[in-house]
Every structure is written in C-alpha cells, then in structure tokens.
C-alpha cells in the first residue's frame, strides 16, 4: 500500500520540540512530497536562530518517517522564514532644519503655489484639476498638498496608500491620474486632527519639499492652506518659487481676503502669476439659464486693477464636486469642465508658467 501524506504528518506529530509542541502542531512542516517510496519535506522554522538549532530534530524526523511501511528513503531540509526588516520609522513634522536662503526643489523646473485668501473658494479643487489637465497636455506634473490642517487632495485624487520610505529619510510619492502627488493627509491618521504649532508645520513642509523623491518634473503645483500663515511664509522664504496664483470667487467678501493674499506675496517678493475666478457663473442643466450666484466679474476687475493676468474663469458645476468626492477629478474626463481646465492648462503652458 503506497504511503500517504497523512501518515507522514501523523508520524511527525509524535516528534516533540525542545521548547514544547511538535513539528505539525507548530506548523513547521512544508512541501511534503511522495514519489513512490521516496519522501521529501521541509522543516520551516520561524527564525534563522531557531532553524540553526534543529539539526537533531531534522535527523530524528527522517528517522521516524523512514520507519513507515512503504518508505525507502527520506530527505528533510531545514529552512527559516525570510526575515524582512521592519519599515523605517519616518517621523513627520518637527522643527525645520536651518538653511541658507531659498532652495530649489531638486529635479523640478517650476514651482507654482495655488493660494486663496479664504477657504471655500475651490482652491484645492482648482489645484487637483489643473494638475491633471496639465498632465493630459503632456507635462510632467507634481501636486503637493500643503494644506496641513485640512488636506483634501488624497480624497480628490483617489489615493489613500501611505507613501513608502526605504530608509526613513527619502519619501516615495504616489501616482494618480498621471500626476506625482504627496500630502500630509497620507502620513497621518485621516480621522485625527493635526494639532501642531508653527515650527511643526514648517518642518513638515520642508520634509515634503526636500525629502520627497519628486523625480524630474516640469511643474510642481502646491495647494496652500487658505489665508496668510506659517506655511505660506515658510514656502516663500525657503523655496525658489516660480510664482503664485490666487483663486477667488467674484463676491466682495472673498475678494477682501484675496487682496490680503496678493499683498502677502508682494511683501514676500513672490511673483504673482495671475488670478483665477472660480464659481464665476452657474448654468442650469435643465433650462440653460445662467445665474451669477457669487456675483460677476469681480476677480477680473481686481486683476485689472492690480495689473496681473486673469488666467481663467471657471463655472460652478455639480459634476466637479461629484468628481472630486469620487477621487477622479473632472479634468480627467471629457466633459465641458474637462475642456475648461484643458483651456486653462494650455494658457499656463503658453505663458511659460507651467
């Protein structure tokens, strides 16, 4: 009667290990092969250290199996689980490292900050869609979500994986919709508030600019937090910026804060590349009626007054919101909003901004 695998395991189960249990109950036996009267199997220990102590057990295992009826030869091999090193502990935040003046982001030709004076004007939506639109135009694009307290780019770009760090220093960014991206939201618990003082913010921003392996990029778009705080100050003083684009809705309240953002960049000697009017109008999808919910032409008038370009006017559109919530920016598609962002991207390329 030919030998059966179950007979072999039953025999090996009688062989007790020095630290308790047996080879079968401890799940040490692997790859049992029966070829006629020849038997082969592997004894796989949990660590190389334990494997080094199993020479006598291997010999005893061969001896106990060779005694079974129908077995003429036995070969047992001792191995161990591959010991993979624990991933390095990458600490995010902390005090910034001293540096002499603004530094260039390695491998990046242009760094463009997207800013707003106040929240709720669609700055992050513009940033993600513009990045995707530029990538569709053939540009090598990076997107850095520097909105430390309210990072939204992971959701808008449809990514959630934590970036890898092979040595605890270099950070490998993620790829989404043709864009190389990084966000503090990928490095912290998404359900936990980031409660950091200014130096921690500055250190985190410095890490994401200088430790992330951005590769060769034509343009890096930085989605700033709203307002005129520590992140903006650090970016303008520590990084060689191509310039800043300010996003605003046409309403007077938004423009009040947009003027402060523009003044901040002027004070910090950062070139103002232009303004974008977001939510400029709403076109009813049923009747085609055009409504100016947030006013009309306010950003164009402000840009003219300051002598900066109006780079584009983007309508208020439900599909943009739905696309952002789903993780696929509208610019990645083919609809009217994708065309609007494509036109904006072509304008930036033609002006050598991106």
Domain CATH number, residue 273: 3.40.50.300
**Which DSSP string do the residues of 243-270 spell out, in sequence order?**
EEEEEE-SSHHHHHHHHHHHHHHHHTT-
Angstrom distance (rounded) from CA 325 to CA 152? 10
Please name the residues in contact with 237: beta carbons below 8 A apart, sequence gap of 6 or more: 102, 268
Calculate the CA 245 to chain-centre distance: 23
Task: Read off the tokens for 60.
Answer: 């005893």
φ, ψ of residue 43 to 5 degrees: the values are -105, 110
Classified as helix, coil or strand, 131 is: helix
Angstrom distance (rounded) from CA 354 to CA 346? 9
| Model pLDDT, residue 95 | 65
Task: Report whether 244 contacts 113 (CB < 8 A).
Answer: yes
Angle in degrees, 0-180, between the axes of helices 336-350 and 318-326, rounded to the nearest 10: 80
**Has residue 91 been placed in a domain?**
no
Q: Starting from the edge strand earliest in sequence, which strands make up the sheet with 38-45, in order?
A: 29-35, 38-45, 73-80
The confidence score (pLDDT) of residue 86 equals: 44
The pLDDT value recorded for residue 63 is: 93
Is 336 inside any structural domain? yes
What beta strand segments (E) does the chain contain? 29-35, 38-45, 73-80, 108-115, 141-145, 174-176, 179-183, 217-223, 243-248, 272-283, 290-291, 310-316
- Provide the domain limits for residue 20: 5-80
What is the total count of domains within the chain? 2
Task: Compute the distance between CA of residue 75 and CA of residue 48 in angstroms, rounded to an integer.
Answer: 20
DSSP state of 301: H
Task: Let me know if residue 66 belongs to a domain.
Answer: yes
135 and 231, same domain (yes or no): yes
What's the Rg (C-alpha) of the chain? Answer: 30
Q: Are residues 135 and 20 in the same domain?
A: no
What is the SS3 assignment for 97?
A: coil
Instruction: Give the pair of three-digit tokens for residue 325.
Output: 């919530």
**Mean of pLDDT over the chain:** 88
First to last CA, the chain: 77
88 within domain boundaries:
no
**Token pair of 212, please?**
């992330």
Do 196 and 268 reside in the same domain of the chain? Answer: yes
Place of tokens 């921690």: 200
Nearest Cα residue to 54 out of 18, 13, 83, 12: 18
**pLDDT in the model for residue 210:** 87
53 & 177 share domain: no
| Same domain assignment for residues 179 and 322 | yes
Q: Is residue 87 part of a domain?
A: no
Q: For every one of its 354 residues, what pLDDT tens digit does the chain have, with 9 covering 90 and above? A: 678 888 899 999 998 888 788 888 888 998 888 888 899 999 988 888 888 888 899 999 999 999 998 899 999 998 886 555 444 556 676 666 777 778 899 999 999 999 998 888 999 999 999 999 999 999 999 999 998 888 999 999 999 888 888 887 889 999 999 999 999 888 877 777 777 777 887 888 888 898 899 999 999 999 999 888 888 988 998 899 999 999 999 988 888 889 999 999 999 999 999 999 998 887 777 787 778 787 778 898 888 988 899 999 999 888 888 888 889 999 999 989 999 999 999 999 999 998
3 state DSSP class of 183: strand
Residue in the structure block whose two tokens are 């935040």 = 93
Q: What is the pLDDT of residue 142?
A: 97
- Scan for tokens 């959701």, then name that residue: 155
């Amino acid at each position: 009667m030919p030998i059966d695998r179950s007979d072999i395991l039953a025999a090996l189960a009688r062989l007790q290990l020095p630290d308790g249990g047996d080879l079968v109950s401890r799940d040490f036996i692997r790859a049992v092969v029966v070829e006629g009267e020849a038997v082969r199997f592997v004894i796989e220990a949990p660590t190389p250290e334990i494997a080094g102590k199993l020479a006598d057990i291997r010999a005893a295992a061969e001896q106990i199996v060779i005694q079974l009826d129908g077995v003429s030869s036995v070969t047992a091999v001792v191995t161990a689980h591959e010991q993979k090193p624990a991933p390095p502990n990458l600490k995010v935040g902390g005090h910034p490292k001293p540096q002499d003046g603004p530094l260039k982001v390695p491998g990046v030709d242009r760094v463009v900050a997207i800013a707003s004076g106040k929240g709720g004007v669609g700055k992050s939506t513009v940033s993600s869609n513009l990045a995707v639109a530029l990538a569709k135009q053939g540009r090598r694009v990076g997107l850095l979500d520097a909105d430390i307290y309210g990072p939204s780019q992971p959701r808008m770009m449809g990514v959630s994986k934590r970036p890898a760090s092979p040595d605890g220093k270099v950070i490998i960014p993620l790829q989404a919709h043709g864009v190389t991206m990084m966000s503090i939201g990928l490095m912290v618990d998404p359900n936990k508030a980031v409660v950091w003082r200014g130096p921690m913010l500055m250190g985190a921003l410095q890490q994401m600019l200088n430790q992330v392996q951005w590769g060769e990029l034509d343009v890096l778009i930085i989605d700033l937090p709203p307002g005129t705080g520590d992140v903006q100050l650090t970016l303008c003083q520590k990084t060689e910026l191509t310039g800043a684009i300010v996003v605003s809705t046409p309403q007077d309240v938004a423009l009040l804060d947009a003027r402060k953002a523009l003044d901040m960049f002027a004070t910090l000697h950062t070139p103002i590349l232009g303004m974008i009017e977001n939510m400029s109008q709403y076109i009813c999808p049923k009747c085609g009626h055009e409504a100016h919910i947030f006013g009309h032409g306010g950003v164009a008038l402000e840009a003219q007054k300051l002598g900066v370009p109006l780079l584009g006017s983007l309508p208020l559109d439900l599909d943009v919101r739905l696309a952002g919530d789903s993780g696929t920016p509208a610019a990645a598609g083919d609809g009217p909003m994708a065309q609007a962002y494509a036109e904006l991207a072509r304008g930036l390329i033609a002006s050598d901004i991106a």
